[in-house]
Amino acid sequence: MRMYHIAPTLLCADLFQMRESMDILDRMGIDWFHIDVMDGSFVPNFAFGTDFLRQMTAVGKSPFYLHLMVTRPEEYVDLYAEAGVEYYCFHYEAVKNPFRLCQKIRVQGMKPAIALNPAAPIHVLRDLIPYLDAVTLMSVEPGFSGQNFMDFTYRRIGALRAMAKGHKLLIEVDGGIDNEIAKKCIDAGCDVVVGGYFTLFQKGKSIEDNYEAFQRAVEGCRTGG
């Protein structure tokens, strides 16, 4: 049986209270931090430079899952390996040779992962699965938080889970996820849900209360491996 995981996206955290938020999340027992990096080219937004990331990895106790929404992810492998991230997730649409990049990531001691935009067909990952530790299925268009979840993502989760049968592949879903959607994603076969504005960082509520509400919503969710 596979258990679910929640990965808070620090893009949704209050930047002026980042250290406090990370300490709370570590105490609450989150599985890893989801860190978005955006270059203003692959997506029309900017986020989290390397210096800021180093500060986060220095204080965070949980592992870091780096999600690069950048045009040349192969150029940053060495840099982010030094920063102390565990997963290095690049977009399928951003590279010409994903196999070579997966090898480079693993040589640097990180776990290769790939993200797939909503419009990209699942079957493009078929030959890549043996080289990956995780896949992030985007359930919104990448680049901005607070978008609505795309319902056809549930079918994509199931299709990827079936295609990955026999492989130890983590499936993460990212974008527009509230507590009810999280439950449905887990039931559909995903392992990791990214928690943002609609779950862990709901305004007017504490992170502790939001985390407990999430746990109650998905209680009992398990999917057969």
CATH of the domain at 70: 3.20.20.70
223 in a structural domain:
no
User: What pLDDT is stored for residue 145 in this prediction?
Assistant: 72
Total domain count, the chain: 1
**Residue 131 is part of which domain span?**
5-218
* Sheet with 87-91: strands ordered across: 5-8, 192-195, 170-174, 134-138, 111-116, 87-91, 64-69, 33-39, 46-47
Question: In this structure, are residues 182 and 192 in contact, taking their beta carbons and an 8 Å threshold?
Answer: no
155 in a structural domain:
yes
Per the annotation, the verdict on 191 as an active-site residue is no
Instruction: List per-block mean pLDDT (blocks of 10 residues) for the chain, which spans 225 residues.
Output: 80 92 93 93 87 91 95 95 95 96 98 97 97 98 84 98 96 95 95 93 92 85 50
Among 133, 174, 178, 191, which one carries the catalytic annotation? 174
Instruction: Supply the DSSP symbol for 149.
Output: P
Per the annotation, the verdict on 23 as an active-site residue is no
Among 36, 133, 178, 191, which one carries the catalytic annotation? 36
User: What pLDDT is stored for residue 106 in this prediction?
Assistant: 98
Question: In this structure, are residues 87 and 113 in contact, taking their beta carbons and an 8 Å threshold?
Answer: yes
User: What pLDDT is stored for residue 222 in this prediction?
Assistant: 56
189 in a structural domain:
yes
User: What pLDDT is stored for residue 223 in this prediction?
Assistant: 44
Q: Are strands 134-138 and 192-195 parallel, antiparallel or unpaired?
A: unpaired
103 in a structural domain:
yes
74 in a structural domain:
yes
